[in-house]
Structure 1
Amino acid sequence: VVFLNASQRYDSLIKWLEDTLNKPIQSIKSASNDASFRRYYRVHYDDHRTCIAVDSPPEYENGAKFVAIATILEKMGIRVPRIKAKDLSKGFFAVTDLGNETMLNAILSKKIKTDHLYKNAMNVLLKIQVKGLECQQNLPLYSKQDLLDEMQLFIDWYCFHHLQISPEIMADFDFKKIFNNLADHALSQKNVFVHRDFHSRNIILSADAELGILDFQDAVSGPITYDLVSLLKDCYIKWPDNQIDRWIDYYYQRLVKHDLIHVDINQFKYDFDLMGIQRHLKAIGIFCRLNYRDGKDSYLLDIPRILEYVAKTVKDYPLLNPLQQFMCKHVF
């Protein structure tokens, strides 16, 4: 197998698009960059028509999974990019263009009421969780090893690489025990369809204000609070605690109504908070890795926000006391 470099892949993608669309391409521009090896381009062709070209190198990305999850979500009635053409061996896709107005942009530009937008996003999530029950068995399980490996990124890339803390110092804090507890707690929750990156940058407002969903190819069967905490304790935008609490209440009531949850609201908030710690430790590690390994330094700017979430939550739970001590001593 010969792997092409970025420039060769771009040239190969253009040729594939011209052959596939069978129309002259008028312009092609970068549509977005995410935290993976995928690249997205907005393609203008055939007098004002657009599509999104996805370059998803097969040596790094699972193209077949992208197709499978897109199909599942579309059958649920969720707005996702529809696949117009694909070449799995090359890792090239042409998909429908949902637009370029992310939920984050809409919030920052104050184009739409925030509460309305979040409730809409939670309604989409609820639909995924309710309808996803039928197809969960087709998804990989979010295993204990997955959860532990993700938290280990915090140690490897943030503590060792970014903070330059020695393994000897790290041994003073029993992270293995904390990680085990967090993973076990996550696994004790009800399992549902988990998007795995459900946040304001991956939700698109279409022209009719209907919400579309992106970046779903890593979906798993996993904890019911995972996507909710991704949305409400978003790595890219922060809300006051009382606002987050109101949204949790809104979502919890809907889960109860659909008989999806059988714990009380206090337990649900506890599950939500601990799930948030697992996700945020992972995110801090990934954002550091993006900087040091992949040369994407913009994500470092989001780390203080995520650390703030962690610092606030660890104070409330004795289980997380060693993590609190570590942060007091080495982070703040």
Structure 2
Amino acid sequence: MSQPEPSDPRAEARTAWTRAILRDPGAIPVRASMDAGFRSYWRVAGADGSRIVMDSPPDKEDVRPWLRIRDVLEAGGVRVPQVLARDVDAGFLLLEDLGADTYLHVIDATNADALFDAAASQLLKLQAIAPPADLPAYDEALLARELRLFDEWFCGTHLGLSLQCAEVDVLDHAYRVLVDAALAQPQVLVHRDFMPRNLMPINSGPATDGPAVLDFQDAVRGPIAYDALSLFKDAFLSWPEDRVDAWLDRYHARAVAAGLPVPALARFRRDADLIGVQRHLKVIGIFARLHHRDGKPKYLADVPRFFGYLDQALPKYPELAGLHGFIEQRVKPAMAQRAGGDRA
């Protein structure tokens, strides 16, 4: 005799809330997507069309920061998901359904110029918003903590490297360069994950309506080049370097025209490279942590993409020669050895 499926109290609560809010006792939320964190999204069909239920378990991921930044962005003219109903204490939101496809699903070599231009329009609006006074700063402590994810989770936990004192000194020096460069940039509102997976094309309404911006709850006040670099050097999609350079130049020209505090182009390109190195190292560490701590191994498949980005940036900067050498002489051989062991 087969055993009954174990009950899932969270799923039961989600279904009950959805049915009550839609006044539809037969409504069934069907998984639409899931974040790298604890939030999940569920599509539900109703009499008035499709809706999305955001499930953000309050003991794991408070929905209030998401709602707060959503309101800040909307007030600044940024296209964000509309909230149709909420139960903040339970961690449930009913949102408009923006469709199943993000930029990541629809972008290709032929439409990338137009889609990135539309994305830059949203980014320029976002960066023009005065950061709330109590918004966290992308300060030295946060920048350094993120960089240490690379040595702790990728080099240590994932590759099993035990760093020598001289290697620790090399990383300390490189991290000092990267942190100082980030802090020296003009500071604006920073999304922190402004990339194709978090942009939704809007297929109805005025052309200026989209794309809609998602996953903004970790916004901070920080370096102006961060989000533009994240957009063009994506975690899940790579572009030829000459196209990325052209997109960065066009973003810069539009930012100047919009009155944003970008530096001269040569300085901006350096800023983008260096904050990019910081982000690439951080994301490599996060992807290793998602695998080893959170049981989400799929992100590791994109780690080589970030080493490709590092290969493009590091040789340009003599002050990062030590980091470049450490990656070439210690990290990449250890990656190859681990890959060989995984295949064995």
User: 2: distance between equivalents of 1:172 and 1:179?
Assistant: 10
**Counterpart residue identity of residue 143, structure 1:** D
Question: 1:57 aligns to what?
Answer: 57
TM-score by length of 2: 0.89
User: 2: distance between equivalents of 1:258 and 1:94?
Assistant: 34
Report deviation, 1:262: 5.1
**Counterpart residue identity of residue 249, structure 1:** D
Question: 1:163 aligns to what?
Answer: 159
Number of residue pairs the alignment of both structures matches: 323
Question: 2:143 aligns to what?
Answer: 147
1:105-163 superposed Cα distances (whole Å, 9 cap, x missing partner): 1115x7x6111111111111011112x12x44252211211111111111111000111
Instruction: Summarize the alignment of residues 6-21 of structure 1 with structure 2, pairs less than 5 Å apart.
Output: 7-21=8-22
User: 2: distance between equivalents of 1:221 and 1:146?
Assistant: 11
Question: 2:201 aligns to what?
Answer: 205
User: 2: distance between equivalents of 1:35 and 1:263?
Assistant: 34
Whether 1:70 and 2:66 are equivalent positions in the alignment is no
Instruction: Summarize the alignment of residues 91-102 of structure 1 with structure 2, pairs less than 5 Å apart.
Output: 91-102=91-102
SS of residue matched to 1:280? helix
User: 1: distance between equivalents of 2:8 and 2:167?
Assistant: 44
User: 1: distance between equivalents of 2:193 and 2:183?
Assistant: 18
Q: 1:204 to 1:6 in 2, by over 3 A?
A: farther
Instruction: Summarize the alignment of residues 241-252 of structure 1 with structure 2, pairs less than 5 Å apart.
Output: 241-252=241-252
Q: Is the 8 A contact 1:27 1:45 kept in 2?
A: no
Identity within the alignment, %: 39
Q: Is the 8 A contact 2:188 2:223 kept in 1?
A: yes
**Counterpart residue identity of residue 113, structure 2:** D
Which structure has the bigger radius of gyration? 2
SS of residue matched to 2:197? coil
**Counterpart residue identity of residue 9, structure 1:** R
Question: 2:339 aligns to what?
Answer: none
1:226-253 superposed Cα distances (whole Å, 9 cap, x missing partner): 1001101111111111111111111111
1:18-63 superposed Cα distances (whole Å, 9 cap, x missing partner): 12222234432211122111111111122x6121111112222231
RMSD: 1.9
SS of residue matched to 1:80? coil
SS of residue matched to 2:196? coil
Question: 2:116 aligns to what?
Answer: 118
Report deviation, 1:172: 5.1
SS of residue matched to 2:229? helix
Report deviation, 1:195: 0.8
Report deviation, 1:263: 2.1
User: 2: distance between equivalents of 1:19 and 1:293?
Assistant: 36
SS of residue matched to 1:89? coil
TM-score by length of 1: 0.92
Q: Is the 8 A contact 1:82 1:95 kept in 2?
A: yes
Q: Is the 8 A contact 1:204 1:212 kept in 2?
A: yes
User: 2: distance between equivalents of 1:276 and 1:185?
Assistant: 11
Whether 1:293 and 2:293 are equivalent positions in the alignment is yes
